[in-house]
């Protein structure tokens, strides 16, 4: 029997549900599981240090790797601060407080006023979306990873946290059009660098108001169900949350807090219904890592157990990244919802896609611009 809040969010968990241990995500497995770690994954990681820059034509030149790696820089600096103590913050541990919690609490007139304040300040720091949800422990990792020996460690969250503020960060439209390429990876790296600053600054603001605020990027828990619960979008076949402003072309960060906040309601305008008639992402995936058919419970070592959802074959996906020596996001690029949803023809298309006329919207998608050659991106002035 689903809880009403799960029904509203389209979330279905079963009796086999078990919280996920971070050591089993495929990225972490590349450091301890010989079935994932190969010479290619080693070269993949080396390429982020410019130690191996395999030159394989357009999109994979030294210049493409140079831009990708430079775009990661601020995120890398933040992440490396406590790595020697096993805490790769923002990825395998929550981000430490750089400022204390003020002794005096600023009291808002209501939770609604507090949420409005947080949203305003999130925009000021540069977040593109902000939603609030109650902390649902199902989506917290069971344990995090100590990067010294990849052993399991406590998440280290303080007691009393009640809410999650989920932030969305738009990825560069033109760079995403160049995937698969090392150049496209600059869209990902740049947003990690941006979000590191934004999430740390917003958390500092909340601590300055006298409340707990733990800044978090990819670490500590699964942000996709949190973003869905916070009303930012709907989960789709390509394993991404699709929003009404940026489609799937964005990243998420989050803040855990005890600030009394008003929560947002999940919205299901009809993206999943569109996915029922579309398989563009699954068709385009070069290693067929994405599912066809309906959502299911189960999956491999790198999948959470007991959730009815579309699940990828993460080993296949990551093997393709290793081959490229760069991340892939073809499934984000080809998704019909990846379009400039700020312009009126595309907003019109969105209305059609979310209506019973979705088949017409799918047919019209053939007129959307295709892949941009990385060299053409460089040639543009």
Provide the binding-site residues for ligand B12, judged by CB under 6 A.
11, 20, 25-27, 188, 218, 222-225, 228, 235, 238-241, 248, 250-252, 290, 299, 302-304, 307, 309, 311-312, 314, 317-318, 327, 329, 331-332
141 touches 20 (CB < 8 A): yes
20 touches 285 (CB < 8 A): no
Options 140, 164, 236, 350; binder of ligand SF4; rule CB under 6 A: 236
Residue 317 touching ligand SF4 (CB under 6 A): yes
C-alpha of 76 from chain center? 17
Residue 224 touching ligand SF4 (CB under 6 A): no
Residue ranges of the alpha helices (H) in the chain?
A: 4-9, 26-29, 39-47, 62-71, 73-80, 111-125, 173-176, 185-208, 223-229, 271-277, 280-284, 314-324, 330-333, 344-353, 358-364, 374-379
Residue 155 touching ligand SF4 (CB under 6 A): no
Binding site partner of 235, from ligand B12, ligand SF4, none, Cβ cut-off 5-8 A by kind: ligand B12
Alpha carbon distance 344, 350 (integer Å): 10
Alpha carbon distance 214, 257 (integer Å): 6
Binding site partner of 314, from ligand B12, ligand SF4, none, Cβ cut-off 5-8 A by kind: ligand B12
* Among 233, 20, 9, residue whose Cα is nearest residue 134: 9
The window from 140-148, 186-194, 251-259, 272-280 that contacts ligand SF4 (CB under 6 A) reads 272-280
The window from 51-59, 125-133, 210-218, 285-293 that contacts ligand SF4 (CB under 6 A) reads 285-293
Alpha carbon distance 325, 182 (integer Å): 8
Binding site partner of 337, from ligand B12, ligand SF4, none, Cβ cut-off 5-8 A by kind: ligand SF4
Residue 312 touching ligand SF4 (CB under 6 A): yes
Residue 287 touching ligand SF4 (CB under 6 A): yes
350 touches 245 (CB < 8 A): no
Binding site partner of 254, from ligand SF4, ligand B12, none, Cβ cut-off 5-8 A by kind: none
* Among 85, 75, 215, 81, residue whose Cα is nearest residue 147: 85
Nearer to ligand SF4 by Cβ, of 108 and 337: the residue is: 337
Compute the Cα dihedral for 272, 278, 284, 290 and give only its sign. Answer: positive
Nearer to ligand SF4 by Cβ, of 266 and 336: the residue is: 336
Residue 30 touching ligand SF4 (CB under 6 A): no
Residue 278 touching ligand SF4 (CB under 6 A): yes
Q: Which residues bind ligand SF4 (CB under 6 A)?
A: 236-238, 274-275, 278-281, 285, 287, 289-290, 312, 317, 320, 328-331, 334-337
């Amino acid at each position: 029997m689903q809880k009403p809040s799960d029904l509203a969010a389209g979330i279905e968990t079963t009796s086999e549900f078990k919280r996920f241990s971070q050591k089993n995500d495929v990225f972490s497995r590349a450091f301890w599981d010989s079935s994932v770690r190969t010479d290619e994954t080693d070269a993949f990681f080396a390429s982020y240090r410019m130690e191996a820059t395999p030159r394989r034509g357009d999109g994979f030149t030294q210049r493409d790797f140079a831009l990708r790696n430079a775009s990661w820089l601020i995120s890398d600096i933040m992440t490396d601060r406590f790595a020697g103590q096993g805490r790769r913050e923002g990825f395998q541990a929550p981000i430490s407080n750089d400022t204390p919690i003020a002794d005096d609490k600023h009291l808002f007139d209501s939770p609604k006023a507090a949420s409005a304040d947080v949203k305003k300040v999130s925009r000021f720091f540069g977040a593109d979306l902000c939603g609030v949800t109650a902390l649902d422990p199902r989506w917290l990792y069971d344990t995090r990873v100590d990067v010294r020996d990849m052993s399991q460690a406590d998440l280290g969250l303080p007691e009393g946290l009640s809410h999650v503020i989920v932030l969305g960060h738009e990825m560069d439209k033109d760079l995403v059009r160049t995937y698969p390429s090392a150049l496209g990876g600059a869209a990902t790296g740049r947003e990690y660098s941006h979000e590191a600053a934004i999430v740390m600054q917003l958390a500092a603001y909340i601590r300055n108001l006298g409340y707990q605020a733990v800044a978090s990027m990819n670490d500590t828990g699964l942000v996709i169900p949190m973003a869905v619960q916070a009303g930012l979008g709907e989960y789709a076949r390509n394993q991404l949350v699709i929003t009404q402003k940026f489609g799937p072309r964005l990243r998420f960060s989050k803040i855990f807090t005890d600030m009394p906040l008003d929560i947002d309601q999940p919205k299901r305008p009809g993206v999943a219904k569109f996915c029922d008639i579309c398989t563009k992402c699954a068709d385009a995936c070069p290693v067929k890592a994405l599912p066809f058919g309906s959502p299911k419970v189960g999956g491999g070592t790198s999948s959470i157990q007991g959730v009815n959802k579309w699940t990828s074959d993460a080993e296949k996906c990551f093997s393709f990244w290793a081959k490229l020596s760069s991340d892939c996001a073809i499934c984000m690029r080809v998704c019909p919802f990846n379009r400039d949803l700020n312009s009126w023809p595309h907003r019109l298309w969105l209305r059609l896609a979310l209506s019973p006329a979705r088949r017409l919207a799918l047919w019209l998608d053939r007129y959307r611009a295709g892949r941009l050659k990385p060299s053409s991106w460089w040639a543009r002035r």
